[in-house]
Amino acid sequence: MILRTLSLLRSLQGAHQTASDAQARIQQACDYRWLRRQLGHGIIDTRQTSMADGTPAVSVVVPFVATPARRRGGRWPQDLDERERCFVEGAHACRAAGAPAYRKLESLSQGLAEGGWAVLKDATRFQYLLDQQALRLTWRRPGSLAADLARQLGRRLPDADAERYGLFLLTLKVPASRPQSAPSGAWLDSCLDRYRRILPTPAG
């Protein structure tokens, strides 16, 4: 099964593809699919932002109650003021927020089941987000949130748990204008694919 998956990815990316490379790409696809499933719980931040290359963007904030089990996904300081100054970026932000890490056999098997082309497409979308520094996880006490953000989050999370443990906020920057409806995985796919098509081809 592993060899069949590797062969499929090699045919799409070139013969230099190794088992380690294949596993990494499939993990990126898994992370992206986890991320797009979370967008249904996200809210749009009203503050203006931009991608790393300066492109105007909108921020989607996905909240999680920072339970002790979830905090074990990162080295968060015990001091609350210090904890609020910390952040995690990129794939590590997804992992700290709860995205599962797949063992090698599991992820290669998943790649075979779902098809090499679909894996590469989602992995490429996720790599774009990494290149644009578009993912960040922070910890916040409810009382330190901006008023508009606190009001929106208050309708989505249990007050008692949020007050007790604090909140993880996974912020995703998307190269798009403010959506007319709630953010979704399909919206994210569309925004990323449309923007990546208009990017200049790298030299060489």
Handedness of CA 175, 177, 178, 184 (dihedral sign): negative
The predicted pLDDT at position 204 comes to: 47
What three-state secondary structure class fits 37?
helix
The pTM of the full predicted model, rounded to 2 decimals, is: 0.83
Please tell me the distance from the alpha carbon of residue 140 to that of residue 165, in angstroms, as a whole number.
9
DSSP 103: P
Which residues of the chain are modeled with pLDDT < 50?
1, 15, 105, 204
The predicted pLDDT at position 49 comes to: 94
The predicted pLDDT at position 15 comes to: 45
The predicted pLDDT at position 98 comes to: 87
The predicted pLDDT at position 72 comes to: 80
Q: What is the distance between the terminal CA atoms of the chain, rounded to a whole angstrom?
A: 35
